[in-house]
Amino acid sequence: MPELPEVEIVRQSLSKKIIGKKINKVLVRNRNLRLKLKSSFENKLKSRFIVKIGRFSKYLILELENKSYCIVHLGMSGTIHITNNRQKNSFTNTSFYHSPNLPKKHNHIELFFNDMKLIYNDPRRFGFFQLIKNKIDLKKRFKNFGPEPFNNKFNLSYLTKYLKKKNKNIKSFLLDQKFVSGIGNIYANEILYLSKIHPLRSAKNLTKFEYEKIIRNSKKVLNNAIQKGGSSIRDFKNILGGTGQFQKEFKVYGRDKKSCKRQSCSGIIYKIIQANRSTFYCQTCQK
């Protein structure tokens, strides 16, 4: 599943391609996504102009000129492709995972513009499109989500209040979207490594200094991943043919049994399973 940096890359790609464009036609080939599309979906999008592409957490938010919104979540395997009517794209994928070219199957939704077409492809159909009537309803849609790491609300006071009596391990909290939005498994591993915090540590036992390190390193890791174009774990490419480069900078993720990269540490990276997810940590410097 794409995490915040990868979804941000999709947002940036779409912003360059479809802002200001009118949706001339909507074709739904399969309504049975994670949230079943209503029969009114096509008519509510048709003839609307896209004025902005936003993002919250791992969700894309298409703002339409009538102040309504379309939320897009890519799920486990969803990808968005742009094809140009006048020239054949070498690469169609707006993101950095799965095929860089448009697959032949599983095209569920197509938005037609004058000179191009947006295609949503999703083999596993865990993603969804959801129409939101107005800004008030949009705010309600995300009311149970925690702040993003970039938000000023993700601060020492918030962490101290939220975690001070919690027994659950800190990595589980980093993955809990009710606590903080947008962090997934890859980046949670990297954040805890930089913070020198063991992933099994009980959240309530962390010090304020360690909370501050989590806040600082959450921003640092995600910003770096965005600047590097995301993580192309399987060497996938974006719409311009470029791969995400952040995977080359992994300090701990996927490095089971390898030496710790910290110069002052002679430890070995271990892999364990937490809540059916792989966790990587240094046995020596993460306490």
Q: Which of 3, 6, 148, 210 is catalytic?
A: 3
Q: Among this protein's residues, is 166 annotated catalytic?
A: no
Q: Among this protein's residues, is 31 annotated catalytic?
A: no
69-73 and 128-132: which strand pairing? antiparallel
**Distance of alpha carbon 118 from the chain centroid:** 19
Q: Among this protein's residues, is 199 annotated catalytic?
A: no
Q: Which of 2, 100, 149, 199 is catalytic?
A: 2
Q: Which of 11, 48, 55, 58 is catalytic?
A: 58
Q: What share of the chain is helix, strand, coil (3-state, %, to 5)?
A: 25, 25, 50
Q: Among this protein's residues, is 2 annotated catalytic?
A: yes
- Decide if 211 contacts 199 (C-beta within 8 A): no
- Decide if 268 contacts 259 (C-beta within 8 A): yes
Q: Which of 119, 139, 159 is nearest to 30 (CA)?
A: 119
How many helices (H) and strands (E) the chain has is answered by 7, 10
Whole-number Å distance between alpha carbons of 192 and 170: 9
Residues in the chain: 287
- Decide if 159 contacts 248 (C-beta within 8 A): no
Residue positions annotated with a catalytic role: 2-3, 58, 277
